[in-house]
Structure 1
Amino acid sequence: AFGVTSEITYFVPREEPCEIWKVRIKNDTRRKRRFSLYGFVEWLIGEYFLELRIHNITTLYNKVWWDGETKAILGKKTASWEQGNIRPFEGLVFFGSNFKMDGYECLKTVFTGRYNDISNPDGLKNEALKNSNCEGEDAVGVLQHNFGLDGLEEKEFVFILGQTPKETEVQNESKSASLTGQAESKEKVKEILNKYQDVIQVRKELDAVRRDWQEKTSLIKVETPDKDFNTLVNTWLPYQLYINAYWSRNPSYYHGGGPGKGYRCSVQDTESILSLNPEFSKKRIREFASLIRPDGTNAVGWSLDGPWDQSPMKGQVVWFTYLVNAYVKETGDTNILKEKTPYLKDKWCEKGEDEGTIIEHIYKQLDYSWNDRGEHDLPRIGRGDWNDGLDMAGVKGEGESVMIAQTLVRALDQARELAELINDNKKAEELKDRVKGLTEIINVKGWDGEWYLRGFKDSGEPFGSNKNKEGKIFLNTQAWAILSGIVPKERLKKILESVDKHLDSEHGLALFSPAYSDYDPELGRIAMFAKGTKENAAIFCHANLFKIAADLALGRGQRAWLSLKKIMPNKQKDYELYKTEPYVFSEYLIGPEHPHLFGEGAFSWLTGTAGWAYMMATEWMLGAGRDFEGLKIDPCLPPSWKKCKIRRPFRGATYEILIENPKGMEQGVKEIWVDEKKIEGNLIKPHRDGKNHKVKVVMGKGDR
């Protein structure tokens, strides 16, 4: 437009704490022209939620100025005031470039004008900026560069936005130490800016970042008849997994973010990334273990400032067992079970052992949940389980959760497997007995006649029951009845038919039905949301993946595929309706009981769906699953998929697996060939030789 081509690329380098903007400007005409280029940033400089609440106060702490020594705009607050804790501001924020500055601005009101905003700022109406520094006002950073371009000439420019890393800062309340810390921070700013003055260096770093992400996301590759499935699994799911694993639930267009990571979500993210990065998962296992108290409870999460408070939600304890079990199956590393890590000692649990082995941490968590049971002998729900919206169901300490009971059965059984691995036979027998006992309790106290209850309120009244006017049937307790293995064969058909009848729709499975229309103080905020949104009967993608996993466990490949397609971000039929990104999973789609938004996506990125979808796609559908003894091959496919491929690293070797399905089976392995040699069964023993191995799988009735 206007005879000018402009392009901007944003990226974060691999090491430095900054964001680089690479700008390309081309004069598309044949005459020489003059331009002014402006880089703009509006500074927050502080704690986000505090700035929202008392911006009129925190603004008075702002100090932003042009610094001739670093040739950049620098900024800080006079002090940090986070959660009432006043301390010296750590480091400096900076905004620099690789060109000679012809003007700058640090005051927002001067740049925009008193009655304008950034869409039409006064600063662009004048030839030069005012060169104002900021002290105690709303702060911006604006850099101006005037330049000329001959006809058809183009140039590239670089802006660098960042904050000095914590390790360079001196955290001391004395003035001299504060000045020393600022001097060290300025040196770090100069170091970063100097590195990226050369556009060639910027291009090299951008190429390196691209290669880095390519390596991270391409370790596992799939090839199926469905191109959308391939694109999602090969590119976008691994990327979403890494973002979730690194940042938990912070990056979002829907939430303001937060200072740390939640325990339950992060544990699931870590399990799902195991096949891509087992070393990262091993490090995280140690972190999670250190958040478990001697009494078996755990902190709800953690940040750079340390562990968070006690979790009032009782369903958090099971996920760590799943992670450790999966880690040992992926790596074969049983030594981690005997590795000692500290317990969390805080005001919630001051007594008990200082440290224990990883498996002892697991035992304590499961013992806590096993012993914390209510009137119906089911685990107490507290302020919620997987479903955060059930925050009043057990506020008096009596409410119970059938879902926690089901997930606990699975965790107890997986802990039994780990106990047997290290010859802890007495504990293994105890865990086996607990699995049997709790299974019987669920099938007596948790069965409603056509499906499983969701739980009991503090009053003892069931919810998720046919007796209820609203919230009659919940998806999760039907899916987890299958995943935990507690459902008797004669009930299986009933719960599957009930799910299809009451919960399925063109956009996926509702979390429950019917939606709540009025607030129920014995359930909580689940009944406060509009019908079909959030926890009030939305199509929760995470819960849909639980059901998809259950279908795959039953060998229902076609049913699993049909359900997955409905919630896949790149298979939506109407993107004007869906609205969210077509490349990452949303937390939910608005459910069928909403009056006019049924099918709209919401809360993208912030979901454990990505992790479960990746595990289902690679390990359950394409069947390259981990097991203690090796790689277990057990595909479960839609019958129309006659040929598929998956390449997957496993314990020091890479397996290129070709799946042939000539008869259109959903499940069943007839024969497996490894490096042109037929093997017995469907378990490939680890090679650990650093080589690629060709595997051919023929589906049909046979060894499985």
Structure 2
Amino acid sequence: MKKKQSIKKNYGQYLPLYNLGQLKSSITPFFGGDIKTDHHHYLLEPTTENDLYANHMSRNIIFTIDDEMYFLNGNTYLQQNDELQVEYDLLYQRVVRSNTLFSIESLSFIPLHDNLELLEVTIKNTSNKNLTLDVITAIPIYARSADNIRDHRHVTSLLNKVEINEQTVLVKPTLSFDERGHHLNHEAYTVSAYSPTTKVNRIITSLEDFIDGGSFNFPKGIYRKDFEPKPGYEVIGAIGFEPFILKPEETATFNISMGIFNQNEDALHIINKYKTKKSVEEAFKHMRNYFEAESSKLSISMVNKDVELLLRWVRFQPVLRRIFGNSYLPHHDYGRGGRGWRDLWQDLLSLILINDESVETLLFNNFQGIRIDGSNATIIGDKPGEFLADRNKIVRVWSDHGAWPLLTTLSYIHSTGHIEFLFKQQTYFHDQFTHYTNKTRDIETSEHILRVHNKPYLGTILEHLLLQNIVAHFNTGKFGFVRLENADWNDGLDMAKNNGETIAFTHFYASNLMKMAEVIEKINRPVRLFKSLYDLIFETIDLKTFFDNVSDFKDTTVEVDATKLSYQLVELYKKRIDHINENAWIKDTHLQSYITDSNVFLDTADTMNLTGQAMALLNETLTMSQAKSVADTTKKLLFNKDNGGYHLNSNYHKIMMDMGRAFGFSYNHKENGAVFSHMAIMYVYGLYNYNLVQLGNEGYKSLIMRAIHPDAHTVLGIPEYFTDKGVGKYLYLTGSASWLLKLLQEQVFGITFYYGKLTLNPKLVREDFINHRASIQTFIHGKLIKITYINLKNLDYGAYKIDKVLYQGQPINIEHTKIEGDIEVYLDEL
């Protein structure tokens, strides 16, 4: 299922490309974007949002036709009226640029296993006369760390060593040179070009020679053949071909590759695999088959074809997030790669849905990042389960971090029935930080594993979960809510460290205590805990004493009766909910979300933050009447259907230095009141928890319909947020994708598991059905199953029930029958 569109203007559209190796890139219909393996190895110059409109330092080919220059990227005065057609799919870009003289069709993708991006370009003479062509690639080779974009930019060019081998420019800098230290470089950066139509007659490697006193728009050196490779200069892959004549309706094809190879790879051998059109076609087919198979692991048919296409891409967004982290797409231009603690757990939600075989291992490894004081490591290594001490000896605590692991773990346990996972034993992260990172100590170990008597201390997964949630539960401020610390889910609330409180996540932690009580009651076996945690749970010590005890950890473990432990957790939950009901409501209409560093509740009767409402509904800490009141008020204060749905907060019309940087942003942008997909979808999930289906349906449909709207410029999938103009920003890499998939499977299609037992409780509305059918293909007990709901009477939610379930045409009872293949679920009147 492809997306095709005619491009009239450059709105900064781009597509991510990646493979199963290390290569990842971004590419626009104008061939902007970059190619890299990680933060320190970029083939093309690193790209930010504004660079999407400046394509000089990216992919390009110059076609001189009858003495006039034309560019592949269209950036000449002659090409401003070119027609541009773009086709996107998993995972490639096809562009057709045409005018009265010629058309150029290009295909861009990355082979599944080799670290090079392929660009196949075919030019066709669409005029009625012969055209004389001179063709040369024009691809500047950056070949260094992103740090060097302005730090030692010139000095690092002095490291460049250039080789020409057949039709390939190979750059291998002598050193990796930056403030980390100077090391021998082991990577080679390549640009190659081949054509069956004509032969290479010149290769220019010096950017200075290529420009030759001109400019990127009018390079003057591109026809000269007397330039020799020079070390110590900025490099370009300018591979020129013998001039040739292209008759009307004739075509000429050029295969260009751009790669990054380490010293253990035979770069030229890999490059030569892709010289011919046939080899490119085979690589393309292989890549397409792989991604098509992956997309089938969770596919949804509902509403219309546009929605189906969007959801097909949403399925891949969690994967893209794991590949690209927070650093490797144009809007995501911060950090040095990798993901954050919250990302680890939320991205697993989608892996659980698609029955990924690595889920249990990844989930288990993630628990290695928890400290014995209930905080967690914030620097995540490249390997699963690898956590690092903070390099700058500066660390932050996000108050929500302890809440997410239980949600993900329970999703896994309910999906698989594997409750014994809770009793697997895992280590704890150990570095210089103690007292919820507010104090430090000297440590001698570099392995970052907590030890007692020189042996790693091992606690059960259940102990890790209890630790995080109990510490957060007791880590309260003046008003009795969980301390905001350096921020919660909203990273922009980062200036209320002293007195800030997050009422929103107080709901989450309270709910988690109840969920753990239920799990412990179900397992009905003694639980072992280290002594200080036991004392904190049963309130025989306070949090300060707990932190003092574990700062020099020497605890023994104690056995706790499951019933006793469960009862205590329920009591703590009840006290917290009572406190919320007494202190967090605004005129019984909606909930406070935050307390500022000035000890002031953030909201009034006329203002609202979505997070507080979302966390209450999501965690089911409200009564039904309370939920309806919150839903009605939230729609009144924050809903904007045309702009994508629910805004993150009201406009406070002021900078609030006692809350965070978010309120320095212009309103309706990013964390200050934008329609923020992640929180909006969690809020909608909460609406469905209370069967407020019409409101929930309107909420998520507004978001996806805005993403589909041409004026959103989101290309594919859902963005992180929409601006005041309804334009999607921070494309592809949003945790909201996992939540949208979770919402659709568990709430809209009603496919849920309770300790491995399947139930069906659809909440589809009339408009969700296409020709009376709505279907989802997903994993049920390890098998890929298609479930089709059939609504022959065109009934709306609330007017139907499940009448019968058919497998191979025969009625079955899903409570007593193991589902082995696709099923049809017929709906009929109540």
Smaller-chain TM-score bracket:
0.7 to 0.9
Classify 1:513/1:544 alpha carbon distance in 2 versus 1 (closer, same or farther; 3 Å). Answer: closer
Please give the per-residue CA displacement for 1:37-66, whole angstroms capped at 9, x wherever unaligned. 323322332331x22342445534530412
Q: Secondary structure at the match of 1:649?
A: strand
Q: CA contact under 8 A between 2:189 and 2:259: conserved in structure 1?
A: yes
Classify 1:347/1:376 alpha carbon distance in 2 versus 1 (closer, same or farther; 3 Å). Answer: same
Q: In the alignment, residue 459 of structure 1 is paired with which amino acid? A: S
CA distance in 2: counterparts of 1:191 and 1:415, whole angstroms:
56
Structure 2 residue 517 is matched with structure 1 residue 410: no
CA distance in 1: counterparts of 2:693 and 2:829, whole angstroms:
14
Residue 373 of structure 1 and its aligned partner are, at CA, apart by 1.8
Q: CA contact under 8 A between 1:20 and 1:159: conserved in structure 2?
A: yes
Aligned equivalent of 1:249: 326
Aligned equivalent of 1:172: none
Residue 571 of structure 1 and its aligned partner are, at CA, apart by 5.8
Q: CA contact under 8 A between 1:439 and 1:486: conserved in structure 2?
A: yes
Residue from 78, 90, 110 that aligns with 1:12: 110
Q: CA contact under 8 A between 1:625 and 1:631: conserved in structure 2?
A: yes
Aligned equivalent of 1:178: none
CA distance in 1: counterparts of 2:742 and 2:509, whole angstroms:
20
Residue 204 of structure 1 and its aligned partner are, at CA, apart by 0.8
Q: In the alignment, residue 16 of structure 1 is paired with which amino acid? A: D
CA distance in 2: counterparts of 1:36 and 1:412, whole angstroms:
71
Q: Secondary structure at the match of 1:278?
A: coil
Q: In the alignment, residue 704 of structure 2 is paired with which amino acid? A: M
Residue 216 of structure 1 and its aligned partner are, at CA, apart by 0.8
Describe how 1:266-345 pairs up with structure 2 within 5 A: 266-304=344-382, 307=388, 309=390, 310-345=395-430
CA distance in 2: counterparts of 1:699 and 1:430, whole angstroms:
45
Please give the per-residue CA displacement for 1:600-627, whole angstroms capped at 9, x wherever unaligned. 3322223222221122123211222333
Residue 71 of structure 1 and its aligned partner are, at CA, apart by 5.5
Percent identity of equivalent pairs: 20
Please give the per-residue CA displacement for 1:631-687, whole angstroms capped at 9, x wherever unaligned. 32111122444542222222233333232343624256343424255566x757644
Describe how 1:587-666 pairs up with structure 2 within 5 A: 587-590=720-723, 597-641=724-768, 643-661=773-791, 662=793, 664-666=795-797
CA distance in 2: counterparts of 1:290 and 1:198, whole angstroms:
48
Describe how 1:479-490 pairs up with structure 2 within 5 A: 479-490=614-625
CA distance in 2: counterparts of 1:242 and 1:129, whole angstroms:
47
CA distance in 1: counterparts of 2:277 and 2:361, whole angstroms:
36
Structure 2 residue 183 is matched with structure 1 residue 78: no
Deviates more, 1:20-29 or 1:556-565: 20-29
CA distance in 2: counterparts of 1:150 and 1:45, whole angstroms:
35
Please give the per-residue CA displacement for 1:65-120, whole angstroms capped at 9, x wherever unaligned. 1243x753222333324553433323222222345642222222221234512x32
Classify 1:519/1:571 alpha carbon distance in 2 versus 1 (closer, same or farther; 3 Å). Answer: closer
Q: CA contact under 8 A between 2:789 and 2:826: conserved in structure 1?
A: yes
CA distance in 1: counterparts of 2:121 and 2:221, whole angstroms:
20
Residue from 104, 110, 116 that aligns with 2:209: 110
CA distance in 2: counterparts of 1:414 and 1:141, whole angstroms:
59
Q: Secondary structure at the match of 1:558?
A: helix
Structure 2 residue 259 is matched with structure 1 residue 162: yes
Q: In the alignment, residue 237 of structure 1 is paired with which amino acid? A: V
CA distance in 2: counterparts of 1:699 and 1:608, whole angstroms:
36
Aligned equivalent of 1:459: 598
Classify 1:325/1:127 alpha carbon distance in 2 versus 1 (closer, same or farther; 3 Å). Answer: same
Residue 33 of structure 1 and its aligned partner are, at CA, apart by 5.6
Deviates more, 1:607-616 or 1:24-33: 24-33
Q: Secondary structure at the match of 1:92?
A: strand
CA distance in 2: counterparts of 1:697 and 1:549, whole angstroms:
25
Aligned-CA RMSD value: 2.9
Q: Secondary structure at the match of 1:346?
A: coil
Structure with greater helix percent: 1
Structure 2 residue 584 is matched with structure 1 residue 446: yes
Q: In the alignment, residue 650 of structure 2 is paired with which amino acid? A: P
Please give the per-residue CA displacement for 1:425-451, whole angstroms capped at 9, x wherever unaligned. 354444433333322222223222221
Aligned equivalent of 2:28: none
Aligned equivalent of 1:179: none
Q: How many residues align?
A: 657
Structure 2 residue 534 is matched with structure 1 residue 401: no
CA distance in 1: counterparts of 2:193 and 2:569, whole angstroms:
62
CA distance in 1: counterparts of 2:193 and 2:361, whole angstroms:
37
CA distance in 2: counterparts of 1:244 and 1:114, whole angstroms:
43
Please give the per-residue CA displacement for 1:422-475, whole angstroms capped at 9, x wherever unaligned. 444354444433333322222223222221111212332111343xx8xx3111
TM-score, length-scaled by structure 2: 0.73
Describe how 1:187-266 pairs up with structure 2 within 5 A: 187-233=265-311, 235-257=312-334, 258-266=336-344
* Gap regions ≥5 residues in structure 2: 1-98, 435-442, 444-449, 526-561
Deviates more, 1:20-29 or 1:256-265: 20-29
Structure 2 residue 638 is matched with structure 1 residue 503: yes
Q: In the alignment, residue 516 of structure 1 is paired with which amino acid? A: Y
Please give the per-residue CA displacement for 1:524-561, whole angstroms capped at 9, x wherever unaligned. 11210012211111111212112211222222332222
Aligned equivalent of 1:39: 137
Describe how 1:451-600 pairs up with structure 2 within 5 A: 451-466=590-605, 472-506=607-641, 507-568=643-704, 575-576=710-711, 578=712, 580-590=713-723, 597-600=724-727
Aligned equivalent of 2:491: 388
Residue 159 of structure 1 and its aligned partner are, at CA, apart by 1.9
Classify 1:56/1:278 alpha carbon distance in 2 versus 1 (closer, same or farther; 3 Å). Answer: closer
Q: CA contact under 8 A between 1:384 and 1:390: conserved in structure 2?
A: yes
Q: In the alignment, residue 527 of structure 1 is paired with which amino acid? A: F
* Gap regions ≥5 residues in structure 1: 166-183, 591-596
Q: CA contact under 8 A between 1:456 and 1:463: conserved in structure 2?
A: yes
Q: In the alignment, residue 575 of structure 2 is paired with which amino acid? A: G
Residue from 227, 250, 272 that aligns with 1:130: 227
Please give the per-residue CA displacement for 1:131-178, whole angstroms capped at 9, x wherever unaligned. 43341x33322222336466444343322211124xxxxxxxxxxxxx
Q: In the alignment, residue 254 of structure 1 is paired with which amino acid? A: H
CA distance in 1: counterparts of 2:253 and 2:418, whole angstroms:
50
Q: CA contact under 8 A between 1:403 and 1:477: conserved in structure 2?
A: yes
Residue 484 of structure 1 and its aligned partner are, at CA, apart by 1.0
Q: CA contact under 8 A between 1:40 and 1:142: conserved in structure 2?
A: yes
Classify 1:64/1:338 alpha carbon distance in 2 versus 1 (closer, same or farther; 3 Å). Answer: farther
Classify 1:154/1:358 alpha carbon distance in 2 versus 1 (closer, same or farther; 3 Å). Answer: farther
